[in-house]
Amino acid sequence: MATNTFINNLAVTEEQRLIEELTIESIRMYGHDVYYIPRAAVNEDPIFGEDPTQKYEQAFSIEAYIQNVDGFEGEGDFVGRFGLEIRDSITFAIARRRFEETITTNTIPLEGDLIYFPLSQGLFEIKFVEHENPFYQLGGLYTYKMSCELFVYGNEALDTGYSDIDVVEDTI
């Protein structure tokens, strides 16, 4: 049986706008303020697309919802061959419209960018950005779901202007 021809959920912009507003409001109510730190390319290799000399010069405050309800995920803390390793991971959800309004450098979150989470004073690297979750509610996409892991400092330049973030470069 075909779908109802009198109801078209994909072309109802008022309902799409309502869901988007409710998503933004719920992230503001139940989320946390984080800092999105975009990566700036210094000397990008045109063949492999890698940049061994990365730098982070800006930080944008934005609200994000933490989807991990039981704490940090990942492999946790363990003693490996080279000493203690901490492999915490976290999943953030950010509203698409708020990202577009707040972040001036990127149009979407990118892998390799950083997120500073002031509550745990942790700096997390974005490993994967899921842009289709939840899957087309009323024909629209309203959030980015970002899977992040604890950032491993590797001689990158951190000059964002926020002392809590820039201290990572000085302490290691």
| pLDDT band at residue 31 using 50, 70 and 90 as cut-offs | very high
| pLDDT band at residue 78 using 50, 70 and 90 as cut-offs | low
> Is the pLDDT confidence value at 85 over 80?
no
CA angle 47, 50, 54 (to 5 degrees): 145
Q: Which tokens in the block code for residue 100?
A: 């577009």
Chain centroid offset of residue 130 CA:
10
Q: How far apart are CA 114 and CA 106, in angstroms?
A: 13
Backbone angles phi, psi at 20, to 5 degrees: -65, -45
Q: How far apart are CA 135 and CA 167, in angstroms?
A: 39
Length of the chain (residues): 172
Over residues 8-32, the mean pLDDT reads: 86
pLDDT of res. 25: 95
Residues 122-147: pLDDT tens digits?
899 999 999 887 777 777 888 999 99
Mean pLDDT of the chain: 82
Q: In sequence order, what DSSP letters do the residues of 13-68 get, joined into one string?
A: HHHHHHHHHHHHHHHHHH-EEEEEE--B-SS--TTT---SS-EE---EEEEEEE--
For residues 92 and 65, the answer to whether their CB atoms sit within 8 Å is yes
Q: Which residues contact 81 (CB under 8 A, 6 or more apart)?
A: none
pLDDT of res. 18: 87
pLDDT of res. 16: 84
Question: Has this prediction a pTM greater than 0.85?
Answer: no
> Is the pLDDT confidence value at 81 over 80?
no
| pLDDT band at residue 151 using 50, 70 and 90 as cut-offs | confident
pLDDT of res. 163: 86
Over residues 30-37, the mean pLDDT reads: 94
> Is the pLDDT confidence value at 168 over 80?
no
Q: Which residues contact 38 (CB under 8 A, 6 or more apart)?
A: 56, 58, 60, 103, 105, 106, 110, 113
For residues 34 and 92, the answer to whether their CB atoms sit within 8 Å is yes
pLDDT of res. 34: 95
pLDDT of res. 19: 87
Q: Which residue has the higher pLDDT, 7 or 56?
A: 56
User: What region does 161 belong to: left with phi over 0, alpha with psi -120 to 50, or beta?
Assistant: left
